[in-house]
Amino acid sequence: MSLPRIAITVGEPAGIGPDIVLAIAQQHWPAELVAITDPSFMRDRAAQLGIPVSIAEYDANRPIKEHSPGTLPVATIPLSAPVQPGKPDPTNAACVVTTLQRAVEGCQSGEFQGMVTAPVQKSVINDGGIPFSGHTEFLAQATNTEQVVMLLASGNLRVALATTHLPLQAVPSAITPTLLESVIQILHSDLQGKFGITSPRISVLGLNPHAGEGGHLGREEIDVIIPVLDALRKEGMYLNGPLPADTAFNAEIRAETDAYLAMYHDQGLPVLKFAGFGEAVNVTLGLPVVRTSVDHGTALTLAGTGDAKPDSLQTAITLTIQLSEESD
């Protein structure tokens, strides 16, 4: 198995992304880690945190080697303005987006075998005049991918989303037979191809309380979800549901489930984040590249203090290495 080279974007420079990247650089990794950022800025943040690290310009022509603790190769994307921890500057928005573009292009060309993203401040990017609704949507557009699926994983608990960043009132109309079929097919395919699960067992949550209770609490299950599940079962998929969301995560069902599919963002993710907040990983399925992310935000009040925990980033890197190997 060849050694992977993993791109890491540090996200919002005024947030904790740079801090946790510097923290994981102190560890040994069975992969080459390449931070995509401004090296001068990273040296300044390392000095502020008291972290000894040797930051050098990344050379794509050198043979891939395992990460050596206390070093950090950097693919340079210069910042436009000085950074003060905890105080984002929209002037740097274009630089933040450029780091993402550099990472995804490197993955598409085969230069990188996967990418890991630290958190961005979406509002600041928009304030900088760049329309940006999130990493997932940006990467879908950058790779010309029509449909992607957000999945969060914590240990053996995996929760995928049929819809992501939508107002709750917009969710029912968004869950069409076409969307649901596409999402389930992507989830099933990537559980096989990226996670190495030969026969994935997927538990699908209903949209309404009690999964509609036979139509008395809503007809989305009867009119949309059940017909899609029945059609895909005929193709050989193992699909359990639609299940009432309030009981779907009990121990008995979890033992028979490789991944859950929730209908909307706050239906499934509170359970997962309660089970492993700070240790969960966000994985974008359906992309032609391997991409993971931390499960937390920029935590501006912690930036530059030394109190930010790198646990989620550690888990994201570990999973990216595993997924890159499965994809070989």
240 is in an annotated binding site: no
Q: Are 324 and 296 in contact (CB under 8 A)?
A: no
3-state secondary structure of 149: strand
282 assigned to a ligand binding site:
yes
What does the alpha-carbon distance between residue 12 and residue 91 come to, in Å, rounded to a whole number?
12
**What is the rounded radius of gyration, in angstroms, for the C-alpha atoms of the chain?**
20
Annotation-wise, does 28 bind a ligand?
A: no
Is residue 164 part of an annotated ligand binding site?
Answer: no
Any binding-site annotation on 67?
Answer: no
> Could you tell me the two tokens for 165?
């960043």
Name, in order, each residue with C-beta under 8 angstroms of 38's C-beta and a sequence gap of 6 or more: 13, 74, 76, 77, 78, 79, 95
Rounded Cα–Cα distance for residues 328 and 267 (Å) = 34
CA distance 229 to 213: 17
Q: Is 5 annotated in some ligand binding site?
A: no
Q: Is 122 annotated as a binding residue?
A: no
Strand-pairing partners, residue 225, are none
250 is in an annotated binding site: no
The helix, strand and coil proportions of the chain, stated in percent and rounded to the nearest 5, come to 40, 20, 40
* DSSP type of residue 29: B
Tokens 């992309």 belong to residue: 287
Q: At what angle do helices 177-193 and 226-233 cross, to 10 degrees?
A: 40
Say how far apart CA 108 and CA 288 lie, in whole Å.
Answer: 7
Residue 92 DSSP code: G
Fill in the DSSP letter of residue 9. E
- The answer to whether the beta carbons of residues 83 and 89 sit under 8 Å apart is yes
- All residues at 6 or more sequence positions from 288 whose CB lies less than 8 Å from its CB, including other chains: 108, 143, 145
Which residues does the annotation place in the binding site for substrate? Answer: 135-136, 273, 282, 291
Which residues does the annotation place in the binding site for a divalent metal cation? Answer: 165, 210, 265
Which residues does the annotation place in the binding site? Answer: 135-136, 165, 210, 265, 273, 282, 291
